[in-house]
A and B are shown apart, each in its own frame.
Chain A
Amino acid sequence: GNSVTQMEGPVTLSEEAFLTINCTYTATGYPSLFWYVQYPGEGLQLLLKATKADDKGSNKGFEATYRKETTSFHLEKGSVQVSDSAVYFCASTGGYNKLIFGAGTRLAVHP
């Protein structure tokens, strides 16, 4: 079945640093890919998505490109802020419409 693997955290960065959180997937067929973010005490919020190879999803300065050749969907941001501190989940579609999540990566940004 489909699966998603993302880098373990926590990731600790200083404000304005460059962020990369790696995500790779295994799938039969061509899943859609997502990044969700969970701020402390809140639910999962969709951050960005990509539905086919070479699509780039972007939102709030975050970007991720659907790379079929490397089965990856790495999350990047050029300059992180303290307010970006959260847990980030990579996910793919699988089966009828369920989401398959990675383990989550906690990001801590310090001033």
Chain B
Amino acid sequence: EPEVTQTPSHQVTQMGQEVILRCVPISNHLYFYWYRQILGQKVEFLVSFYNNEISEKSEIFDDQFSVERPDGSNFTLKIRSTKLEDSAMYFCASSAGHNSNQPQHFGDGTRLSIL
């Protein structure tokens, strides 16, 4: 069965540094998402992306965050200047459509640790 793959599985970065989290969505999917889960807290929506544009973003997704689909297969989340509170598990998801009969499929996540 096709999968969403995320790399790396664990990223350790110094505070203030830029970090790029990478995702390869399922190949025929058109909608892409990032979520994050701070340890012990809820999974929170960050951003959705369709047709090379952000469809929706949350309050968390401020100017420090950006997303990009640099080629036909990758979908990246960049954090420009990391803060301690960015430490979390980041999940990428993709879906074929935006109705509930085409649910979101999630990757295994990237654990981001900011020192």
| Interface flag for B43 (CB, 8 Å) | yes
Let me know if B106 and A97 touch, CB within 8 A: no
- How far does the alpha carbon of A41 sit from the alpha carbon of B107 in the complex, in Å? 11
Chain A interface residue count: which class? 20 to 34
Q: Chain A residues near B58 (CB, 8 Å)?
A: 98
| Chain A residue with the shortest CB-CB distance to B33 | A98
Given A44-B43, A97-B95; A51-B103 close (CB under 8 Å): no
Chain B interface residue count: which class? 20 to 34
Q: Chain A residues near B106 (CB, 8 Å)?
A: 36, 43-45
Let me know if A96 and B104 touch, CB within 8 A: no
| Interface flag for A100 (CB, 8 Å) | yes
- How far does the alpha carbon of A49 sit from the alpha carbon of B99 in the complex, in Å? 12
Let me know if B91 and A43 touch, CB within 8 A: yes
Given A34-B103, A93-B100, A96-B98; A43-B43 close (CB under 8 Å): no
| Interface flag for B65 (CB, 8 Å) | no
Give the residues from 22 to 73 in chain B that come closer than 8 angstroms, CB to CB, to chain A.
Answer: 31, 33, 35, 41-45, 48, 55-56, 58
Let me know if A49 and B103 touch, CB within 8 A: yes
Give the residues from 23 to 78 in chain A that come closer than 8 angstroms, CB to CB, to chain B.
Answer: 32, 34, 36, 41-46, 49, 51
Given A97-B31, A97-B48; A43-B107 close (CB under 8 Å): yes
Binding site for B on A (CB under 8 A): 32, 34, 36, 41-46, 49, 51, 89, 91, 93, 95-104
Q: Offer 16 A-B interface pairs, CB within 8 angstroms, sorted by A.
A: A34-B100, A44-B43, A44-B91, A44-B106, A45-B106, A46-B105, A49-B100, A93-B100, A97-B48, A97-B56, A97-B95, A98-B56, A99-B43, A103-B42, A104-B42, A104-B43
